[in-house]
Amino acid sequence: MNPEIIDRQRKAMAEEGLDALISISPENVTYTAGFVVPSQPLMRWRHAICIVTCDGRVSMIVIDMEETTVKAHGGIDEVRVYREFTEDPMDRLCEALVNLKLDHAKLGMEMEYLPARDLMTLKSKLPVADFVAADGLFNKLRQVKTREELDLLRSLSRITDKAIGDTLQSARAGMTEMELAGMLTRGIFSAGAENFKLMIIASGERSQYPNVGPTQRVLNSGDLIRMEIFGVKNGYHAGVCRTAVVGSPTPEQEKIWDNLIECKYLVTGLIRPGASCREIYEKFIKKFSQLGFEPISFVGHGIGLFLHEEPYLARTSSEVLEEGMVLGIEPLVFIPGRMGLQNKDMVSVSKGGCELLSDTTHTDKLIRVA
């Protein structure tokens, strides 16, 4: 458990007039407890719940299957266990709230995640308690990372970047996308990631499709290869994307890539504490529009325990960047019926401006595959 995160939650409760914060989604339970409850992200009905009181006490409700795993981690004041299939985790939550003298309190909870049936149970068993939506509060808290979170994301970004770079350096014409996938997954695990999400390997005509996985398609001379993956460690994500070409790029491909890299440096040069997300996007669009293609609705997004978090570098954003935020920056173009090129980097907002976290693979020119 990270004491700084608990302290931030206490301060947020004081500002919002809350007596406790209850996290129930896998992401916010991980954020609060400091570790992943292994089966919670896989089976929605296997609730794990964290309660943080305004005076900093931390309690958890977990399924019996995960009891020993949770108790192996320190910092939890009380752990209540429910039996799978025969007991309702909401009953244990109500018991914990009564024991903490919070049955008449104002309680912040993730209403966007909590099933309606469970909310009805809570209201029927604790009719005087005031359950209020705290989704926005959690979202805001997670935007600015602690030093511990930044260290993890810096390391994970390099792990993810290196796995992609090494895979592309080993790629050859005649290989299949699935063979590349095997190399990529071996690389990301051997370097220290615990898991991965959304592996995209799209070559040739398939490079035009945004979020597609690998197939048995064989690499041919002249193919573009878009490769993206989100390395995962302790629930946190680092998303990196690189584009390579089998052989030599065409003049058109070089022109597009040069623009995307100029967009990358433009955006990272504008990132600093106090910068407007909307203004960064608008300046990006001026450069990108020189290509004459349809732009995406954002060029960057927050990242951490969720693949996409606020803030977005987008035309509709009203957010201002703060030191400690971590973003995925991804200038890209998808040309229907033809091809797609994309470069995605992990960056953090530092006191002096912008720190490139995914700094292992050189991307100023299209990566060339033999």
What are the phi and psi torsion angles at 367 (to 5°)?
Answer: -65, 135
Q: How far apart are CA 1 and CA 329, in angstroms?
A: 29
Query: What is the number of other CB atoms lying within 10 angstroms of the CB of residue 216?
Result: 8
DSSP letter at 180 equals H
CA atoms within 13 A on the CB side of 236: 31
| CB contact at 8 A, 51 and 110 | no
pLDDT at position 75 is: 81
18 and 161 in a single domain? The answer is no
Contact 326, 150 (CB under 8 A): yes
pLDDT at 166: 97
Are residues 272 and 191 part of one domain? yes
Q: Which domain holds residue 283?
A: 147-369
Q: What is the pLDDT of residues 36-46, one digit of tens each?
A: 999 999 998 89
Residues 178 and 310 in one domain: yes
Predicted confidence at residue 45, as pLDDT, reads 86
- The pLDDT of 346-354, averaged and rounded, is 96
* CATH code assigned at 128: 3.40.350.10
Q: What is the Cα–Cα distance from 198 to 180, expressed in whole angstroms? A: 15
Q: Within its chain, how far is the Cα of 145 from the centroid?
A: 12
Per cent of the chain over pLDDT 70 is 100
Measured CA to CA, the distance from residue 13 to residue 51 in angstroms comes to: 12
Q: Helix or strand or coil: residue 8?
A: helix
- Please indicate, yes or no, whether residues 60 and 181 belong to a single structural domain of this protein: no
Work out the average pLDDT over 318-345.
97
User: Of the residues 142, 166, 195, which one is the last residue of a structural domain?
Assistant: 142
Percent of the chain with pLDDT over 90: 96
Same domain? For 151 and 138 the reply is no
What domain count does the chain have?
A: 2
pLDDT of residue 295: 87
Give the contacts of 357 (CB within 8 A, at least 6 positions apart).
153, 154, 157, 158, 238, 326, 345, 346, 347, 348
Whether residue 163 contacts residue 188, with contact meaning beta carbons closer than 8 Å, is answered with yes
Pair (107, 162) in one structural domain: no
d(CA 103, CA 127): 8
- pLDDT tens, position by position, 187-233: 999 999 999 999 999 999 999 999 999 999 999 999 999 999 999 99
CA distances from 185 to 23, 83, 133, 201, 270 (A): 32, 36, 39, 12, 34
**Across residues 127-152, what is the average pLDDT?**
97
The CATH number assigned to the domain holding 232 equals 3.90.230.10
pLDDT in tens, 242-295: 999 999 999 999 999 999 999 999 999 999 999 999 999 999 999 999 999 988
pLDDT, the chain, mean: 96
Residue among 258, 272, 328, 324 at smallest CA distance from 300: 328
Instruction: Kindly state whether residues 83 and 151 are assigned to the same domain.
Output: no
Residue 74 has pLDDT above 80, yes or no: no
Question: Domain check: are 281 and 362 in the same one?
Answer: yes
pTM of the shown model: 0.95
Residue where a domain terminates, one of 142, 171, 204: 142
Tokens coding 298: 């954002």
pLDDT at 254: 97
**Are 81 and 169 in a shared domain?**
no
* Other residues' Cβ atoms within 10 Å of the Cβ of residue 83: 12
Q: How far apart are CA 202 and CA 340, in angstroms?
A: 9
* Model pLDDT, residue 1: 83
Question: Do 156 and 137 share a structural domain?
Answer: no
The domain boundary residue, chosen from 121, 142, 163: 142
pLDDT at 355 over 80: yes
| 79 and 217 part of one domain | no
Is 97 in the same domain as 164?
Answer: no
Token pair 């680092």 is found at 238
Q: Are 108 and 13 in contact (CB under 8 A)?
A: yes
CB atoms within 10 A of CB 160: 33
Tell me what pLDDT residue 34 has: 95
CB 320 within 8 A of CB 274: yes
Helix residue ranges per DSSP H, the chain: 3-16, 26-33, 67-71, 89-99, 116-125, 135-143, 147-170, 177-190, 251-270, 277-288
Which pLDDT does position 243 carry in this prediction? 98
SS3 state of residue 43: coil
| 3-state secondary structure at position 233 | strand
Compute the 3-state secondary structure of the chain and give helix, strand, coil in percent, each to the nearest 5: 35, 25, 35
Residue with tokens 């990529």: 184
Asked if residue 241 lies in contact with residue 334, where contact means CB atoms within 8 angstroms, the answer is no
**Nearest-angstrom CA–CA distance, 2 and 19:** 20
What token pair was written down for 72?
A: 């192996």
Phi-psi region of 332 (alpha: psi -120 to 50; beta: other; left: phi over 0): beta
